[in-house]
Structure 1
């Protein structure tokens, strides 16, 4: 471990890293060149290793502390660290997770510069937002067609209710003249998906509540939606940080909303994975940990982080030729190694 340099810790590209950790009631520290977390058991203290070179995001929940030495190693490995409330959900739903991002390295400039070539033009920014919305639906269709577990739970894109909702969404997205039109269309689709998921899981009278809604199944579905959405926000924040694009340059959620681009990117995967599994796990009366494990596994199975990277890079570099994009990506991979 003494021979490892900060560059060695970044060998695995962020889009290929497997781990996103949520820790609570423990102390995170550096010991013998590794990052560990310490938990207090009844008879003894237990240490567990955090594989930082293969980790994208570390969420610190209730009852956690972290040492300066551990933060230094996490920064060297390029891991994003966020403090949050219990169950990976912030204590106040109106408050964003504040991300601690490593500042000890240079990040690529191509993607931010590409983003800026269209962002100041209202029409081009709207066109980028429409591309994200179309990618979001393409991902949902691909995931729901492929995932056997979701099919067994009744989530099928060929159902008439879903097919009609997606058709209306596509028509209204194409005809939208401003970001507020897209947000309204998005809200209408999400409402239809909630209704469809509630019907499949027998959660009658479901209503979306962003505050904790109790311990019954409907309350659990709302809590799981909050929890899963913030996990998706973590992946989105990681994607933007690695590519060097600030969170404020949103294409749909508004120029003045803090961290708005994080929400734009997270929306790419929320409907496809977070929404159905929130309802399924609520129906099965799963615990927070069981839900979290299920969603993180779904993110891995369907390469959610890879998909986010692909879409953001595609939008940022859309005015370049295929050969130019290949040169940029090959250069980024070489630098990481």
Structure 2
């Protein structure tokens, strides 16, 4: 069996894999974590490279053995329980994620985070940093991604550049988190409009309950981003409840804050492009995971959260 140190050899920010599994059994066999699928005539085993995996989402019709859960925990892999298509996350024992427990995670990040969190004004300034980081990331990625440019998504385009500039100004002038949330919603609405124009999908209305492809892909992709956000916070030792944007009473809200850093940039355009091209959910998921890796989404989340936490009382 692999040694514990071997399993953690790959930094979380450099890991490439997120798994969504359904209708299978996850188990430990011969020192490896496998998932078993049952075809009509035979059973098939598939290996999960846990040392290079950040998150496993267990969908409908899945089960996991205690031995597999223990081995995943040893490798620092988060387990999320979800419904069909990766959404929504299910609450079990009042948690969204089954996180590997370790009392030896770093302390400087949570201490730095708490040094500003109880001050409403400092918390607002950090929320603004999150929003500016989100916009800067979108400008940078949409300005260089050749695949997106081929589909008409370019941060230099007049409508997109204007929406980003308008949102940046509102961030600077916001007097409270409510105003920040309004500006965020307006930007996302503008980006939806730009995406509809480029993919010619007709009338689109964002509704998590809708069954059209664009909404389904948005839901699916967002939960992949939530997995990265949850991983970032767990590794850095920051509890999910200390949010800066989504409110102090929403459980796990900081996961949503961190995921928002990349959602508009990577999930939104590919949800619309995939809907236009009538791709399957599996093809969409592979496209998103490829873009997560290509544009170092997890690195960006880690760097943003670490920089803010370490600035501590300067926030």
Q: Does TM-score exceed 0.5, indicating one fold?
A: yes
RMSD across aligned C-alpha pairs, in angstroms?
1.6
Q: What is the total number of aligned residue pairs between the two structures? A: 312
Instruction: Within 5 Å, give how 1:27-106 maps onto structure 2.
Output: 27-90=25-88, 98-106=96-104
Pair 1:270-2:268 in alignment: no
Question: SS of the residue aligned with 1:114?
Answer: helix
CA 1:107–1:130: 2 relative to 1, 3 Å: same
Aligned: 1:249 with 2:247: no
Match of 1:260 in 2: 253
1:130 alignment counterpart: 128
* Structure 1 segments of 4+ aligned residues over 6 angstroms from their partners: none
Is 295-304 or 6-15 further displaced after alignment? 6-15
Matching of residue 284 in structure 1 with residue 277 in structure 2: yes
2:221 is aligned with 1:228: yes
Distance across 2 between alignment mates of 1:21 and 1:69: 18
Per the alignment, residue 293 of structure 2 pairs with 300
2:272 & 2:95 partners in 1: Cα distance? Answer: 24
Listed one character per residue, the Cα deviations across residues 45-82 of structure 1 (whole Å, up to 9, x for unaligned) are 11111111111101101110000000010010010001
Aligned equivalents of 2:48, 2:183: Cα separation in 1? 41
SS in structure 2 of the partner of residue 146 of structure 1: coil
Q: Distance in 1 between matches of 2:189 and 2:117?
A: 29
SS in 1 for 2:143: helix
Counterparts of 1:182 and 1:6, CA distance in 2 = 43
1:102-121 equivalent positions in 2, closer than 5 A: 102-121=100-119
How far did 1:91 drift? Answer: 7.1
* Cα shift readout 1:76-129 (whole Å, capped 9, x = no counterpart): 001000110111112789xx9720011145211000000011111111111101
Q: Distance in 1 between matches of 2:263 and 2:298?
A: 12
User: What is the match of residue 194 of structure 1?
Assistant: 192
Gaps of 5+ in 1: 322-337
**CA deviation vs aligned residue, 1:203-230 (integer Å, no higher than 9, x gap):** 111111110x23xxxx100010011001
1:76/1:104 contact within 8 Å kept = no
What is aligned with 1:145?
143
The alignment partner of 1:209 has SS state of: coil
Q: Could you tell me how far apart the structure 2 residues matched to 1:262 and 1:60 are? A: 18
- For 2:96 and 2:48, locate their aligned partners in 1 and report how far apart those are by CA, in whole Å: 21
Give 1:238's aligned residue. Answer: 231
Alpha-carbon shift at residue 155 of structure 1 (Å): 0.4
CA distance 1:281–1:97, change in 2 (3 Å)? farther
Deviation at 1:311, TM superposition (A): 0.2
Q: Give the TM-score taking structure 2 as reference length.
A: 0.96
- 2 CA distance for matches of 1:68 and 1:104? 18
Cα distance between partner residues in 2 of 1:54 and 1:276: 27
Distance in 1, Cα, partners of 2:313 & 2:206: 42
